[in-house]
Chain A
């Protein structure tokens, strides 16, 4: 409407004929533009062209069955083959349960794949974080493995045992219960472990040291 107000002469000029695209749309009734309809009804030249387009359009209507096949194809053979396959397909469809008839794209589209992928990632992450604890680290608090060495004498400890060894010999204090054991290195180079018995509440402290040859186990 703005362009009409800006240039009314161009829009209402009966001499300016419609272009080919406008004529083609007018012939098929695909335009609601009143200017095209007005011009098409008053201009003999354009009316004749619209009539030509209409005639061609009408000659195409219902021509779906009129087609040409490439060389080497015989419609009779194609028709027989298709009739047979359609009969077979309908029979199969009638005895196949509905879910089995679905195509892969219907039940395994990208959303399904994303959901399965996300679920797998969550399960794998959870398994990785909570699963192989026996190999990664102990469930007990404290250090997993500590060791102090001087010359060929080495003190070492883990939540299950602690002690010392020199060459082929060594002494280890083993924990009698699989309960929480804390192993720590002292500032003086000693090792100290503490275990609390879950049933009796008894605390067992074991300490070994390199310096003054002290070793022992106290119970409280």
Chain B
């Protein structure tokens, strides 16, 4: 009976490890784009997974675990910004770290990486924090606009405005980079 319990515990731990490995990079990416620095993104990513395992019973549909984890990550990152007094998404300059950062891709992605992907990254990085957050949640994470508004704590009209501005700026930057080729 004891060995069965141990085996079950090991299985559960392995399942957790697999789940973390499969989602770690994506979750880190979401948080990193929201908070804009590696150290905080690292802490918050860890917090997200620990929180998710603690609240696993809240997950109704295991098939949506990845999506649910994305929401936990988004809320964790935004809570962090709120605690730091950046809840208002006040006018912030585009993150220069992103613009000056050296391109980094995981090995398998490097093969597929193209000039286009680099440009998309550059455009995304050039947006202001609130525009980038809105666009990441809506277009990258595919959250409904209403939910983005809820997560950001603003009205649907405001979030639509953020999303529209972000897309317009994003497209203009992309066209500029394409033209400079």
Contacts and interface: CB of A to CB of B under 8 A. Distances in A.
B147 interface: no
B164 A63 contact: no
B38 A24 contact: no
A79 B24 contact: yes
A31 interface: yes
B124 A24 contact: no
Interface of B is mostly: helix
B5 interface: no
B38 A69 contact: yes
Contact of B101 (A62, A70, A82): A70
B103 A64 contact: no
Nearest to A63: B140
A56 B167 contact: yes
A28 B139 contact: yes
A53 interface: yes
Among A60, A75, A81, A87, the one with the most B-chain Cβ atoms within 10 Å of its Cβ is A60
A208 to B, nearest CB: 73
Contacts of A177: none
Interface in B11-63: 13, 16-17, 20-21, 24-30, 32-33, 38, 42, 45-47, 49-50, 53-54
B142 A61 contact: yes
Contact of A56 (B24, B101, B171): B171
Contact of A21 (B27, B70, B102, B165): B165
Interface of A is mostly: helix
Contact of B160 (A30, A68, A69): A30
Q: How large is the interface on B (under 10, 10 to 19, 20 to 34, 35 or more residues)?
A: 35 or more
Given A30-B160, A68-B98, A93 B54 contact: yes
Given A30-B160, A61-B139, A82-B28, A70 B38 contact: yes
Given A66-B121, A79-B24, A60 B29 contact: no
A24 B164 contact: yes
Contacts of B32: 67
B167 A64 contact: no
Nearest to B48: A86
Contacts of B135: 60
Contacts of B120: 56, 59-60, 63
B105 to A, nearest CB: 7
A83 B24 CA distance: 8
Contacts of A82: 24, 28, 42, 45-46
B160 A66 contact: no
Interface string B136-168: 101111100100000000000000110111011
Given A68-B101, A90-B50, A73 B38 contact: yes
Given A56-B171, A68-B98, A24 B140 contact: no
16 contacts: A25-B164, A28-B145, A56-B167, A56-B170, A63-B29, A63-B120, A64-B70, A64-B141, A67-B28, A68-B121, A68-B125, A73-B38, A81-B42, A83-B20, A86-B49, A93-B50
Shortest 6 CB-CB contacts between residues of A and residues of B: A24-B167, A21-B164, A89-B50, A64-B29, A64-B26, A65-B25
Interface of A: 20-22, 24-25, 27-28, 30-31, 52-53, 56-57, 59-71, 73, 75, 78-79, 81-83, 85-87, 89-90, 93, 101, 105
